[in-house]
Amino acid sequence: MVTATTTAWAAAAGTPDPELPMLTLADLGILRDVHETAGVVIATITPTYSGCPAMREIAADLRDRLQRAGYRDVEIRTQLAPAWSSDWITDEGRRKLTRAGIAPPTGAPRRTGPVALTLGRPTPAACPRCGSGNTTLTAAFSSTACKSLHRCADCAEPFESIKAI
Amino acid sequence: MTMDHDTPYDGLADQHGDDARWAFGTGFTDPLEGIDTTVPDDLDPAALATYCLMLGDDALIYSHRLQQWMTRMPELEEETAIANIALDLLGQARMLLARAGTINGRTEDQLAYFRDEADFRNVRLVEEPDRDFAELVGRLLVFSTWRLALFDRLVDCPDPVLAAIAGKGVKELSYHRDYAAQWVIRLGDGTDVSRQRMQAALAAIWPLVDELFRVHPVALVTADRSEFDAVLDTVLATATLDRPAAAPLAAVGGRTGRDGVHTEALGYVLAELQSVARAHPDATW
């Protein structure tokens, strides 16, 4: 039933991400599918990183949201392939990230052949506060697996950025 | 912004179904939840399970070794980096052990906590402790360069589950390798002392490199040695370091880590990794 499925998607899509609560699972692009089969709502999610510790909370929150929206039988499935890409973050998600002081990711690297070694300086992330491109990477890893740490030379503020993968 | 739990304590204490485990606040769900784990007809299930165990053990033991560096890193940014890398590898380990477990009927916890040393199939490179920061980044460079080359080929392997795990891993390992390479260059092309210590670290690690390229009957793919060599040569040349000429660590009666023959170091890792789970096997929170 089209209406019910749309509603189930809406209920699931509004679930906030536990580590980036300004974004919904749909904004982040980790909600891959929601559909109803024989009275069961099946929601499919994909991890951002293999070790993402939030997957369990995400599954529990998703189940909770759908049940509160009136769907009693809920099944949460994981999908690994294709692997999550930061390109899947929606435009709305990117605006929300910037408003929260986190630089959205640049385009994910594309390649043919072996993964190239990156020894030079990465493309600078634009400062989410003042918009300056005069920034430096201070650490390739940050408070969560999906972010890196930067500093803006113009407004002197540190900020995080979603890694492009 | 409303939280889905009224207080953080509710969130920590709640249980989803009856999956409570001994580790506080976890109650881990199956990392392969809802994934079709049917083994394709043309694959030998036992061999596939063993191969997943090998790749999972590499990640599990190495992740544990990296976790031992927590609170000991020279700067907060490096602490965060190593914690993130260890977490990625732990995630890979969980999925790979779970994949092996779907075939041999065991859970990831049973495989991680209740196997003995001779049942671990990791390469010996990952079990040895790093004696200084130079060994840490040197071993990470060797490990991530090899594993990236391997996973990049596994993406096309005939088991769709293993291929999917590898596909995720490639993105993570690319970051790990870049991080390690940049530190090896900084130390190698640094001061006389840092260069000397980086060179000594490579000499200590090098005897364990050949084992990574031994062909094992259950392996679905083999990493390309020339691809590995090309990356290492580029990094070492930029770092003004020499490729060590150390002889490989001998196999014991033709057997190495992949056959369950380990160095003394693995026993210490397992003692720490497994002691709580073994002392309280049925404990729940």
* Chain B contact set for A83 (CB, 8 A): 164, 167-168, 170-171
A38 pLDDT above the threshold of 70: yes
A150 pLDDT above the threshold of 50: yes
- Indicate yes or no: CB of A50 within 8 angstroms of CB of B169: yes
Q: Which residue of A has its CA nearest to B161?
A: A80
> Greatest CA span in chain A, whole angstroms?
57
Alpha-carbon radius of gyration of chain B: 20
Closest CA to B130 of B210, B231, B62, B192: B62
The pLDDT assigned to B38 comes to 95
Nearest Cβ partner for B182 among A51, A114, A119: A119
- Estimate the crossing angle of helix B76-104 against helix B45-67, to 10 degrees: 160
Residue A55 parent element (H or E): helix A55-68
Mean pLDDT in residue range A105-110:
88
E-assigned strand segments in A53-101: 74-78
* Chain A contact set for B28 (CB, 8 A): 56
Quick check: B262 and B127 in contact, CB under 8 A? Answer: yes
* Chain B contact set for A55 (CB, 8 A): 29, 31
The pLDDT assigned to A6 comes to 61
Bridge partners (DSSP) listed for residue A136: A151
The pLDDT assigned to B54 comes to 98
DSSP code at position B231 = H
Q: How far apart are CA B27 and CA B87, in angstroms?
A: 17
Residue A37 parent element (H or E): strand A31-37
Mean pLDDT in residue range A19-26:
94
DSSP code at position A16 = B
DSSP code at position B27 = -
Closest CA to B162 of B47, B258, B29: B47
The pLDDT assigned to B89 comes to 98
Closest CA to B113 of B264, B265, B272, B284: B272
The pLDDT assigned to B147 comes to 98
Q: How far apart are CA B127 and CA B121, in angstroms?
A: 11
Residue type, A148: S
The pLDDT assigned to B6 comes to 47
Token couple for B67 = 């976790």
Q: Which residue of B has its CA nearest to A60?
A: B16
Sequence-distant (≥ 6) Cβ neighbours of residue B141 within 8 angstroms: B177, B180, B181, B184, B232, B235
Angle at alpha carbon of residue B147, lines to B142 and B153, rounded to 5° = 140
The pLDDT assigned to A52 comes to 83
Would the CA dihedral through B216, B222, B223, B225 be positive or negative? positive
Beta-carbon pairs below 8 A across chains A and B: 129
The pLDDT assigned to A4 comes to 58
Residue B27 falls in which region: left (phi positive, over 0), alpha (psi -120 to 50) or beta: left
A57 pLDDT above the threshold of 50: yes
The pLDDT assigned to B28 comes to 55
Confidence of residue A53 (pLDDT cuts 50, 70, 90): confident
DSSP code at position B125 = G
Mean pLDDT in residue range A59-71:
93
- Comparing A121 with B99, which gets the higher pLDDT? B99
Q: How far apart are CA B190 and CA B187, in angstroms?
A: 5
Q: What is the tally of helices (H) and strands (E) in chain A?
A: 4, 7
DSSP code at position B61 = H
Percent of chain B with pLDDT over 90: 81
Confidence of residue A134 (pLDDT cuts 50, 70, 90): very high
Regions of chain B where pLDDT drops below 50: 1-9, 11-26
Using DSSP, state whether A155 is helix, strand or coil: coil
Using DSSP, state whether A33 is helix, strand or coil: strand
Q: Which residue of A has its CA nearest to B175?
A: A140
Bridge partners (DSSP) listed for residue A158: A151
Mean pLDDT in residue range A22-44:
95
Quick check: A44 and B34 in contact, CB under 8 A? Answer: yes
Tokens 């390479």 identify what position?
B181
* Chain A contact set for B94 (CB, 8 A): 50-51
Q: Which residue of A has its CA nearest to B165?
A: A80
Query: Rounded to a whole number, what is the distance in Å from the CA of A26 to chain B's nearest CA?
Result: 17
The pLDDT assigned to B14 comes to 47
- Comparing A69 with B14, which gets the higher pLDDT? A69
